[in-house]
Amino acid sequence: MHDAPSAKELIEAVKAFIDKTAAPQLTGHAAFHARVASNALATVLRELEIRPAAEAEEKARLEALLGTTGDSANALNAQLCEAIRAGQMDLSTEGLLPHLKSTTIAQLSVDQPGYSGLRSAAR
Amino acid sequence: MGNGIEIEKPLTAWAEAHFGAGSRLEGLKRLSGGASQETWAFDVAAPDITHVLILRRAPGGVAAARSSEAVSLATEAALLGATSRAGVRVPEVLHVSAPGTPLGEAFVMRRVAGETLGRKILRDDEYKTARTRLTRDCGEALAGIHAIPTAGLVDLPRSLGEDQITKYEAIYRGFGMPRPVLELAFAWLKANAPAPAAPVLVHGDFRLGNLIVDGNGLAAVLDWELAHIGDPREDIAWVCVNSWRFGHSEKRVGGFGDLPEMLDAYAAAGGARFTPAEIDWWEILGSLKWGVMCMIMYSAYKTGADPSVERAAIGRRVSENEIDLINLFEGLGRHA
């Protein structure tokens, strides 16, 4: 399969169309939704860049934390949730909070990089 | 969005009866926001003076089956009356319209001048003086609300911290989208639950966005739909949740104030004496609740109930609450 244009280029083109052509012609509710749409595409662009490495790191941390291997970060997260729910892990568990913090910082770097809580976490 | 034609006649009839013959309806306009109720702004030009008013109305004038939490408009109007008599700054209610009348289930109140947008209140020079008074004003308002005798308040749901954990955990589990930070928050809240305080009238959504602020400080407390009988610390913590600090994280109270100052004002106005550490548990519950509420709004997209890009995108805000929860966990023990 080719990638010319790449997914990134296509999304950038659509985002530029919304920002420069469509949004300026819209008013009221539609203009608001155009801004939200443009922001959603910006999220996808950040995700394309950040997710592969961040998720691989997350998976490695989860395997170390749980002492097991898994097919995906998703499956390991379900296991982690079960362990927390069952009371086998809590705030006093070595490495749990730092892992969750690293994962959430990566997630926010995709979702809402300007969020104030992200700055507080970095301090 | 209604165009107002169906309510023009009954509103005019009410205005003439209330303010005298010859009173005219002017500038009727539906305001944005408030999905569960219609909110309209309008003026009545009476023979002597123009009255600036708000109509709150059930959609189409008929109360739909709403979420079990939201109180009826009649109850909301009764709460405004009770809180006003107790000296809390709220809009004055002029008329309550019953279901089945031409206007339908609705009430009319005076429109209080001022600003509700958090970002403007926290940033604009116009509110510089207000910002220095708002922390005390909020403490005093909450003490006033929490002191209102609950015996005479009909139709209010009862929801303590434990009830809210049960409710929001069931919703979270129903989505089948496990998120370890939320999981940790549920488990921690259950393991560290404080002894319940004596139940009081709780506003339920006391935060920037639902407060009218003018140049002098707090002008009115709005949006009583989520009022219930509950724990006073819920209200104190909700205005502290970082989602409502609009970027001004360093000020724990709404992005404008310090918690010890609000707690002092609260106690001086007759409220119980709480410490910042006692508010931590409730702020964690608040951030967790808002995270689950973002999941609820995203699920409206996922199920097809609301196909808008806005509902889809809000699912990417849950991580905001997750970092807030982590920051709160790291800060535990830091408050005296």
B336 is a domain residue: no
Q: Give pLDDT, residue B68.
A: 56
Kindly determine whether residue A104 and residue B326, on different chains, have CB atoms separated by under 8 Å: yes
B266 is a domain residue: yes
Residues 6+ apart with CB under 8 A from A82: none
pLDDT, tens digit, for every residue of A98-116? Answer: 999 999 999 999 999 999 9
B136 and B258 belong to one structural domain: yes
B41 and B131 belong to one structural domain: no
B105 and B125 belong to one structural domain: no
Mean pLDDT computed over every residue of chain A: 96
Structure tokens at B227: 């009022």
End of a domain among B90, B110, B130? B110
Q: Give pLDDT, residue B47.
A: 87
In this prediction, residues A7-35 reach a mean pLDDT of 96
B255 and B154 belong to one structural domain: yes
B212 and B322 belong to one structural domain: yes
Which secondary structure element, helix H or strand E, spans residue B106, and what is its range? strand B106-110
Q: CA of A16, closest CA in chain B: separation in Å?
A: 17
In this prediction, residues A20-38 reach a mean pLDDT of 95
**Chain A residue nearest residue B321, CA to CA:** A117
Show pLDDT as tens, one digit a residue, over chain B (336 residues).
Answer: 456 788 999 999 999 999 999 999 999 999 865 557 889 999 999 988 999 999 999 887 777 655 557 788 989 999 999 999 999 999 999 999 999 999 999 999 999 999 999 999 999 999 999 999 999 999 999 999 999 998 878 779 999 999 999 999 999 999 999 999 999 999 999 999 999 999 999 999 999 999 999 999 999 999 999 999 999 999 999 999 999 999 999 999 999 999 999 999 999 999 999 999 999 999 999 999 999 999 999 999 999 999 999 999 999 999 999 999 999 999 997 764
B83 and B147 belong to one structural domain: no
B153 and B232 belong to one structural domain: yes
B38 and B186 belong to one structural domain: no
Amino acid A40 reads A
Angle among Cα B93, B35, B322 to the nearest 5 degrees reads 115
Question: Considering CB atoms only, which of B181, B187, B316 is closest to A104?
Answer: B181
d(CA A85, CA A26): 48
B206 and B85 belong to one structural domain: no
Question: Considering CB atoms only, which of A40, A108, A115 is closest to B312?
Answer: A40
B129 and B14 belong to one structural domain: no
Kindly determine whether residue A116 and residue B327, on different chains, have CB atoms separated by under 8 Å: no
Angle among Cα B93, B96, B97 to the nearest 5 degrees reads 150
Looking at the structure of chain B, the number of domains it has is: 2
Map out the domains of chain A as residue ranges. Answer: 7-122
Cross-strand bridge partners of residue B38: B57
Sheet (strand B38-45) strand order: B24-30, B38-45, B50-57, B106-110, B93-97
Q: B78 is in which domain, residue-wise?
A: 5-110
Q: Give pLDDT, residue B70.
A: 79
The ipTM estimated for the assembled molecules is: 0.96
B136 and B64 belong to one structural domain: no
B128 is a domain residue: yes
Question: Considering CB atoms only, which of B191, B327, B332 is closest to A120?
Answer: B327
Cα atoms in the Cβ-side hemisphere of radius 13 Å centred on B316: 24
Q: How is A14-62 classified by DSSP, letter by letter?
A: HHHIIIIIIGGG--HHHHHHHHHHHHHHHHHHHHHHHHHHHHHHHHHHH
Helix and strand totals (H; E) in chain B: 11, 9
Kindly determine whether residue B323 and residue A118, on different chains, have CB atoms separated by under 8 Å: yes
B contact test, residue of A18, A59, A85 with most B CBs within 10 A = A85
B178 and B71 belong to one structural domain: no
d(CA B203, CA B205): 6
CATH of the domain at B82: 3.30.200
Amino acid B150 reads T
Q: Give pLDDT, residue B34.
A: 56
CB B40 within 8 A of CB B59: no
pLDDT, tens digit, for every residue of A43-98? Answer: 999 999 999 999 999 999 999 999 999 999 999 999 999 999 999 999 999 999 99
d(CA B180, CA B110): 46
CATH of the domain at B305: 3.90.1200.10
Residues 6+ apart with CB under 8 A from B65: none
End of a domain among B62, B80, B110? B110
Question: Considering CB atoms only, which of A36, A105, A116 is closest to B242?
Answer: A116
B282 is a domain residue: yes
Kindly determine whether residue A100 and residue B181, on different chains, have CB atoms separated by under 8 Å: yes
- Backbone phi, psi, residue B218, to 5°: -70, 120
Share of chain A above pLDDT 90, in %: 96
